[in-house]
């Protein structure tokens, strides 16, 4: 099949960027002709399985849901952007897709602006288009903005499929957009995890590989570029993780307040554990100040790619996802579980669904250690303390159980195949 995969942003980092490149890779490896249409300037840095990349000219304004810096663009939050500017972005994106037709499928990301882009691109053709709702557009931009909700709802009317990553996002889609013209075309398909990339490996092997990858990072003098890994990470990581006897807690994701990292720092107080905090965002300075004030044994690394994380995760005992804002799905928790770290997540939204899957594989007397009460540093501390106090053999049993849960439910090969099958199935009228 010839597939056009549209994503309005980059391929590096987390969330929908990782989703896009993983989907491109799996579809390409399955023998499909895949072209990714996105704004990535350096696609050669990523394994896309042979997929081609096209970067269209969409003008100087990039509509976003959470403000970030994007090279060559003025990032503007979608709900604060004039409709005419959003329409220009949609028109330019759709024109780029039409130039690449014919295709058997156009698959777009985000209800807005992926829905309008897909609808405009296939207008007057028989090409089907499908849309992936990621959740960030719904929560950060569309909620409480009826004009955007109506635009999103209308744009999904002719989609062959609308995909949500969890029951939580299905509910949010209904809350924000109202009743869709074809609710039967909404399919619940979780994101996938590359269980070959993320897997447990011996500690010495993982540490050596992590340091090697960090040495290959681009220079970042003074850590001036927040989207690059911190300068000197190879030396810092080697020294910080040298003592194999100390338990290590991991967080990786955006450093914004809604992600709840401040709760993790508070929870670490009184525990004999160190933490590695991976990511970038406008809350980093405050988190670093909090860690200093608390005297926490914490290493901030800046953003790391999967090439680093695949080696970092096996060096950690527990991976915490402490978000205080709804999440579409606990992708980072699932990746950590695949890599051999016990996931511990806030029990809400899509994170609770990951916890439930992991709990099914855990021994009954330890199932409470997959999640903690949302917003409670006290409960998080108690669960961390209990996890870290387990005998090594018992903790290894949990880690193996968590990986089994990921393989059974969220491996990418099966997820990509299911998405494609549902996207091209003849939709009911």
Pick the CATH number of 2-192+412-424 from 3.40.50.300, 2.40.110.10, 1.10.340.30, 3.40.50.2000: 3.40.50.2000
For residue range 227-255, list pLDDT tens digits in order.
Answer: 999 999 999 999 999 999 999 999 999 99
Confidence at 123, pLDDT banded by 50, 70, 90:
very high
Confidence at 427, pLDDT banded by 50, 70, 90:
low
Average pLDDT over residues 128-140: 96
Burial of residue 207 (CB within 10 Å: 0-12, 13-18, 19+) is: buried
User: What is the pTM assigned to this prediction?
Assistant: 0.78
Residues 93, 12, 296, 333, Cα dihedral to 10°: 90
Confidence at 162, pLDDT banded by 50, 70, 90:
very high
For residue range 292-328, list pLDDT tens digits in order.
Answer: 999 999 999 999 999 999 999 999 999 999 999 999 8
Cα 337 from chain centre: 14
Pick the CATH number of 203-409 from 3.30.360.10, 3.40.190.290, 3.40.50.2000, 3.50.50.60: 3.40.50.2000
Fold: same for 2-192+412-424 and 203-409: yes
Which pLDDT belongs to residue 429? Answer: 53
Which pLDDT belongs to residue 69? Answer: 85
Q: Where do the domains of the chain lie?
A: 2-192+412-424, 203-409
For residue range 62-80, list pLDDT tens digits in order.
Answer: 999 998 889 999 999 999 9
- On whether the CB atoms of residues 48 and 57 are closer than 8 A, the answer is no
For residue range 194-213, list pLDDT tens digits in order.
Answer: 999 999 999 999 999 999 99
Cα 29 to Cα 31: distance, rounded to the nearest angstrom: 5
What 3-state class would DSSP assign to 371? strand
302 DSSP β-pair partners: 278
pLDDT at 426 over 70: no
Angle at 25 between CA 302 and CA 416, to 5 degrees: 110
2 DSSP β-pair partners: 33
Other beta carbons within 10 angstroms of residue 35's beta carbon come to: 18
For residue range 370-410, list pLDDT tens digits in order.
Answer: 999 999 999 999 999 999 999 999 999 999 999 999 999 99
pLDDT at 340 over 80: yes
Angle at 391 between CA 386 and CA 397, to 5 degrees: 90
How would you classify the pairing of strands 105-109 and 2-6? parallel
Cis peptide before 113 (omega within 30 of 0): yes
Which pLDDT belongs to residue 300? Answer: 98
Cα 298 to Cα 296: distance, rounded to the nearest angstrom: 6
DSSP letter string, 176-230: HH-S-S-GGGEEE----B-TTTS----HHHHHHHHHHHHHTSPP-GGG--TTSPP
Which pLDDT belongs to residue 425? Answer: 84
């Amino acid at each position: 099949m010839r597939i056009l995969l549209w994503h309005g942003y980059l391929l590096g980092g987390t969330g929908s960027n990782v989703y896009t490149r993983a989907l491109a890779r799996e579809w390409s490896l399955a023998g499909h002709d895949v072209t990714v249409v996105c704004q990535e300037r350096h696609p050669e840095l990523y394994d896309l399985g042979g997929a081609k990349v096209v970067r269209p000219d969409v003008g100087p304004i990039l509509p976003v849901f959470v403000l970030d810096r994007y090279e060559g663009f003025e990032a503007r939050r979608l709900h604060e952007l004039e409709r005419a500017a959003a329409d220009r972005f949609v028109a330019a994106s759709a024109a780029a897709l039409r130039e690449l037709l014919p295709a058997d499928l156009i698959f777009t990301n985000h209800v807005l602006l992926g829905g309008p882009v897909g609808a405009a691109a296939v207008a007057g053709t028989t090409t089907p288009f499908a849309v992936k709702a990621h959740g960030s557009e719904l929560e950060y931009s569309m909620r409480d903005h009826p004009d955007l909700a109506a635009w999103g709802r209308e744009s999904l009317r002719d989609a062959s499929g609308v995909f949500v990553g969890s029951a939580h996002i299905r509910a949010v889609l209904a809350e924000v957009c109202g009743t869709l013209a074809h609710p039967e075309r909404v399919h619940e398909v979780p994101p996938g995890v590359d269980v070959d990339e993320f897997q447990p490996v011996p500690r010495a092997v993982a540490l050596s590989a992590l340091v090697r990858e960090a040495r290959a990072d681009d220079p970042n003098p003074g850590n001036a570029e927040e989207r690059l890994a911190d300068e000197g990470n190879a030396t810092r990581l080697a020294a910080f993780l040298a003592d194999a006897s100390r338990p290590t807690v991991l967080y990786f994701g955006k450093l914004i307040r809604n992600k709840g990292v401040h709760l993790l720092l508070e929870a670490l107080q009184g525990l004999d554990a160190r933490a590695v905090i991976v990511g970038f965002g406008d809350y980093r300075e405050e988190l670093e100040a909090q860690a200093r004030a608390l005297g926490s044994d914490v290493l901030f690394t800046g953003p790391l790619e999967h090439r680093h994380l695949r080696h970092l995760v096996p060096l950690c005992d527990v991976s915490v996802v402490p978000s205080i804002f709804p999440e579409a799905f606990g992708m980072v928790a699932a990746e950590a579980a695949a890599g051999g770290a016990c996931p511990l997540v806030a029990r809400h939204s899509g994170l609770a669904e990951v916890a439930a899957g992991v709990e099914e594989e855990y021994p009954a007397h330890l199932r409470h250690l997959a999640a903690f009460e949302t917003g409670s540093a006290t409960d998080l501390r108690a669960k961390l303390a209990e996890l870290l106090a387990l005998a090594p053999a018992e903790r290894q049993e949990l880690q193996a159980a968590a990986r089994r849960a990921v393989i059974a439910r969220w491996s990418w090969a099966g997820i990509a195949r299911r998405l494609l099958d549902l996207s091209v199935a003849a939709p009911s009228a």
